[in-house]
Amino acid sequence: MKKQQQSVTSLPRSPEDERRTRMIKYLIVMGIRIVCLIAVFFVLQWWWAVALCAAGAIVLPYIAVIIANQTMNTGVAGPERPGAIQVYRMPPAGFTPPPADGGRDDDERTAS
């Protein structure tokens, strides 16, 4: 059987490249979290700003993990179908396939 050549566009990204991209996204979100933590101490005059910064500091680690665990699926959309079906051996002489209706006669179908 002939092997099908992979094209450059159908290959997935290298694991190192994908890991680096996910790490950068994680670090960006966690950097925003640190800014939120520091901002909580400077916006004590406004309760809504404190609540917003505190919520960001609490929720952003969860969001960072979700974003970092997403993988980029840039390869083929699904499994590739094989080419035409190839017959490797012929059926024995005199072989007849079973009927499509499960082997019942017409009389049995009308009686039930």
The first and second tokens of residue 86, run together, are: 């190839």
**Three-point CA angle 52, 56, 57, nearest 5°:** 120
Q: Report, in angstroms and rounded to the nearest whole number, the Rg of the chain calculated over CA atoms.
A: 31
The first and second tokens of residue 30, run together, are: 């966690």
pTM over 0.75: no
Say how far apart CA 30 and CA 65 lie, in whole Å. 10
Q: pLDDT tens string for the chain (112 positions)?
A: 556 665 666 667 778 888 898 899 899 989 999 998 998 888 888 888 889 888 988 998 898 888 888 776 655 556 656 666 666 777 788 888 888 776 566 555 555 5
Count of alpha carbons within 13 angstroms of residue 30, beta-carbon side = 11
